[in-house]
Amino acid sequence: MKDLMSLPTEDSDRISDENLPIDSHVFEGKLINYTNEDFRDIAVARLGWAVSEQLMNILEQVPCEECNINAVNIMAEFARKKNETELAEFLEAYLAEAGYEKNR
């Protein structure tokens, strides 16, 4: 039986800034066609709360590694449809490097 103190907690599952890999993927660009808030509002309506919250994390320079990879794929497709090419290309590059393959 495991000691309860050794079980992971929500905080211990997250990567702290000082422990991020050097090659972590942080979006440092800006949106072209929307403000972050407008983009979030559209994302909430189209993608739902959970994905849009992760999208806002990306825009606030939280590493992609802390997001669900399936959500990152959805974000990339959404950014591409909204002509936010810098964000879409960034997310697509992360997915490619992570070895993500879309379900066919």
What is the rounded CA–CA span in Å between residue 20 and residue 1?
Answer: 31
pLDDT at 19: 47
pTM for this prediction: 0.75
**21 assigned to some structural domain:** no
DSSP for 47-61 reads H-HHHHHHHHHHHTT
Residue 57 domain boundaries: 27-98
Residue type, 22: I
What total of structural domains would you count in the chain? 1
Asked if residue 44 is part of any domain, the answer here is: yes
Q: Is residue 2 part of a domain?
A: no
Asked whether residue 7 is assigned to any structural domain, the reply reads no
pLDDT digits (tens, 9 = 90+) for 19-54: 444 468 899 999 999 999 999 999 999 999 999 999
